[in-house]
Amino acid sequence: MEELLILSQIVVSISVIVVWVFRRENITIEFEQYGISDTIRDVVGALKISLATILILGIWYKELLIISSIFMAFLMICAQYFHIKVKNPLKKFIPSLCLLILCLFIAVQNWSIV
């Protein structure tokens, strides 16, 4: 189970970093579609990249995993809300839904640490 937990942390972290660093133009278009300001987009991006980094650090420092995975799950719920709000097709929902599930898995698996 430990290997699956670490793999989940890595998948969430790398996915978030790839999207927010290397595919930023897509994020810019999506946030414009949602009617969200550039400032909020940048704050969300900084939060997601920070949380992704903390999830990686959680491989060695387990006490970081609960808070980082719950906050990341919250941001993924927000992403789901905005996809629904603008009536995006199902394929747009799937990435953030998968990351939401992985974040909840990470949180549940580490709940005993709290």
49-84 per-position pLDDT tens digit: 999 999 999 999 999 999 999 999 999 999 999 999
Report d(CA 85, CA 51) in Å as an integer: 25
Average pLDDT estimate for 100-111? 96
pLDDT at 87 over 90: yes
Instruction: With cut-offs at 50, 70 and 90, classify the pLDDT of residue 114.
Output: low
Domain tally for the chain? 1
Mean pLDDT rounded to a whole number for the chain: 95
Residues 11, 102 contacting (CB under 8 angstroms): yes
Range of the domain at 108: 2-113
Q: Which helix (H) or strand (E) holds 110?
A: none
